[in-house]
């Protein structure tokens, strides 16, 4: 695990020495001629646009329909991400044992039904904050399994040389949703109210599941009746792989730090926009469009930046933009806040996508196929597990020091997320290394103590 496969004249410790022939190349025609990827991409596109509606509508339901406090709204974000702490690691083991495609289909179907319960309960006059918490928690569980399976599924669906292109296309979809989605969501909420707008997201999950069901390529699954190690053994194997890896460990620390401070700010942004800036749902949707513009710029430039600057420097650049983007939002004046909020979204969104495409492609490239699910689960546990902590911290700070001051804390803290990358071998990577030989037999955990994660 600690030494990369050698090519001629290449030291296993010189991560920047990967020759051009080892770097990911864009095949002729790319993924436009890959029908199964197009189906996956189409389903994700529809789902991403639907998610933009719920992302704005659910907090507004809490604020406007249920008169929730800032702490209660921030706690809703905590509940939504709590499953990433509780269920991500076992999800990785299961995803490596079963059909990842079926996990995607079941996850979409379950989330569609759960979201449908919100407008139904509202129409019956029975909607409560407790139901929002319950739906958020259960949707979070399904999202854990879906996301782990999704990132583990892509390497089995497309060739290794197509991973960067695939991740870039998927991120372009997210960018388009962030640009058009918030404005459409704001208009939709204004027209039919927030609870009923959530119906759109429910339908989007149904359509997404249908596209996943239409994918023809089947994965290689463990043979029926094959004896597998105990879940605890496989879980520890995944933990040891990520935490003992000199490229994956700093990735996890950097991403987790960024997610923590981003959620300190984001968890109270809607409350701040409504109660301090007096923005309508439509204007909040316009404000969110800045993130979408940034995400689109990042997705269109990430591959080119990785080629021109090298994977390492492009990763550093992306991580370095986390703090400045949030600070611009915090500095927005109450009299005319939209320009700085949109600018902050562009800066932060662009940096996030440039970073994500590089780091996700890197970890998919260097991880053995049989560990993809557990690797993604461990990474999700470490980097998404900080989100509910950030949301809870944001709610607590907003109740004590104020809403705008909490945004400043999120922005200043975001600057620290680039340090683990700068202090790691990732900074010198020019291309993507070859997959590493596995350090131990499948299912067998060596007796050496698990390395500790250093402080960021």
pLDDT tens digits for 308-321? 898 899 999 999 98
Cα gap 211→208, rounded to integer Å = 5
Most confident of 40-49, 208-217, 373-382: 208-217
Confidence of residue 455 (pLDDT cuts 50, 70, 90): very low
Query: 193 Cβ partners below 8 Å, 6+ apart?
Result: none
Asked whether residue 451 carries a pLDDT value surpassing 50, the answer given is no
* Cβ-based neighbour number of residue 340 at 10 Å: 18
Report pLDDT for 396. Answer: 92
Average pLDDT of the residues of the chain: 81
CATH code linked to domain 34-217+230-428: 1.20.1250.20
Asked whether residue 418 carries a pLDDT value surpassing 50, the answer given is yes
First-residue to last-residue Cα distance in the chain: 23
∠ CA 321-326-329 to the nearest 5 degrees?
Answer: 130
Asked whether residue 136 carries a pLDDT value surpassing 80, the answer given is yes
Asked whether residue 7 carries a pLDDT value surpassing 70, the answer given is no
Average pLDDT of the segment spanning 300-313: 87
Report pLDDT for 4. Answer: 26
Q: What is the pLDDT of residues 189-225, one digit of tens each?
A: 888 888 899 998 999 999 999 999 999 887 766 655 5
User: Is the Cβ–Cβ distance between 93 and 235 less than 8 Å?
Assistant: yes
Asked whether residue 8 carries a pLDDT value surpassing 60, the answer given is no
Report pLDDT for 393. Answer: 93
Asked whether residue 3 carries a pLDDT value surpassing 60, the answer given is no
Confidence of residue 227 (pLDDT cuts 50, 70, 90): low
User: Is the Cβ–Cβ distance between 1 and 410 less than 8 Å?
Assistant: no
Q: Identify the burial level of 219 via C-beta atoms within 10 angstroms of its C-beta, where 0-12 means exposed, 13-18 middle and 19 or more buried.
A: middle
Query: Structure tokens of 43?
Result: 């389903």
Domain ranges of the chain: 34-217+230-428
Report pLDDT for 224. Answer: 54
Confidence of residue 27 (pLDDT cuts 50, 70, 90): very low
Average pLDDT of the segment spanning 366-379: 82
Average pLDDT of the segment spanning 44-57: 85
Range with the poorest average pLDDT among 158-162, 171-175, 214-218: 171-175
Of 273, 349, 264, 329, nearest in space to 77 by CA: 264
Asked whether residue 12 carries a pLDDT value surpassing 90, the answer given is no
Print the SS3 string covering the chain: CCCCCCCCCCCCCCHHHCCHHHCCCCCCCHHHHCHHHHHHHHHHHHHHHHHHHHHHHHHHHHHHHCCCCHHHHHHHHHHHHCHHHHCHHHHHHHHCCCCHHHHHHHHHHHHHHHHHHHHHHHHCCCCCHHHHHHHHHHHHHHHHHHHHHHHHHHHHHCCHHHHHHHHHHHHHHHHHHHHHHHHHHHHHHHHHCHHHHHHHHHHHHHHHHHHHHCCCCCCCCCCCCCCCCCHHHHHHHHHHHHHCCCCHHHHHHHHHHHHHHHHHHHCCHHHHHHHCCCCCHHHHHHHHHHHHHHHHHHHHHHHHHHHHHCHHHHHHHHHHCHHHHHHHHHCCCCCCCHHHHHHHHHHHHHHHHHHHHHHHHHHHHHCCHHHHHHHHHHHHHHHHCHHHHHHHHHHHHHHHCCHHHHHHHHHHHHHHHHHHHHCCHHHHCCCCCCCCCCCCCCCCCCCCCCCCCCCC
């Amino acid at each position: 695990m600690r030494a990369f496969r050698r090519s001629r004249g290449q030291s296993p410790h010189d991560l920047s020495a990967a020759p051009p022939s080892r770097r990911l190349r864009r095949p002729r025609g790319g993924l436009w001629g890959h029908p199964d990827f197009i189906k996956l991409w189409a389903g994700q596109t529809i789902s991403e646009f639907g998610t933009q509606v719920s992302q704005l509508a659910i907090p507004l339901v809490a604020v406007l329909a249920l008169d929730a406090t800032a702490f209660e709204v921030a706690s809703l974000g905590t509940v939504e991400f709590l499953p990433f702490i509780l269920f991500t690691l076992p999800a990785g083991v299961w995803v490596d044992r079963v059909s990842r495609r079926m996990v995607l289909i079941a996850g979409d179907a379950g989330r569609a039904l759960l979201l449908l319960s919100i407008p139904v309960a509202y129409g019956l006059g029975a909607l409560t904050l407790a139901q929002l918490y319950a739906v958020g928690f259960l949707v979070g569980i399904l999202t854990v399994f879906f996301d782990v399976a999704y990132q583990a599924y892509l390497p089995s669906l497309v060739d290794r040389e197509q991973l960067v292109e695939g991740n870039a296309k998927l991120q372009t979809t997210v960018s388009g949703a962030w640009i058009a989605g918030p404005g459409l969501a704001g208009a939709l909420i204004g027209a039919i109210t927030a609870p009923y707008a959530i119906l759109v997201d429910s339908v989007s999950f149904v359509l997404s599941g249908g596209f996943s069901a239409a994918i023809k390529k089947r994965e290689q699954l463990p043979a029926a009746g094959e004896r597998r190690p105990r879940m605890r053994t496989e879980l520890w194997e995944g933990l040891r792989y990520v935490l003992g890896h000199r490229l994956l460990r700093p990735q996890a620390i950097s991403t987790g730090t960024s997610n923590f401070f981003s959620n300190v700010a984001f968890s109270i942004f809607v409350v701040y926009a409504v109660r301090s800036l007096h923005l309508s749902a439509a204007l909040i949707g316009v404000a969110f469009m800045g993130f979408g513009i940034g995400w689109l710029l990042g997705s269109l430039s990430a591959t080119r930046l990785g080629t021109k600057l090298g994977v390492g420097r492009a990763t550093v650049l992306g991580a370095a933009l986390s703090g400045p983007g949030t600070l611009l939002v915090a500095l927005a004046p109450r009299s005319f806040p939209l320009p700085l909020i949109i600018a902050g979204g562009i800066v932060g969104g662009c940096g996030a996508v440039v970073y994500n495409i590089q780091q996700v492609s890197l970890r998919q490239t260097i991880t053995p196929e049989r560990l993809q699910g557990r690797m993604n689960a461990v990474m999700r546990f470490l980097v998404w597990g900080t989100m509910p902590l950030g949301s809870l911290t944001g709610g607590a700070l907003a109740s004590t020091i104020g809403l705008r001051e909490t945004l400043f804390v999120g922005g200043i803290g975001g600057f620290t997320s680039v340090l683990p990358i700068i202090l790691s071998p990732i900074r010198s990577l020019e291309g993507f290394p070859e997959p590493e030989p596995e350090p131990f037999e499948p299912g067998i955990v060596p007796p050496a103590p698990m390395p500790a994660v250093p402080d960021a």
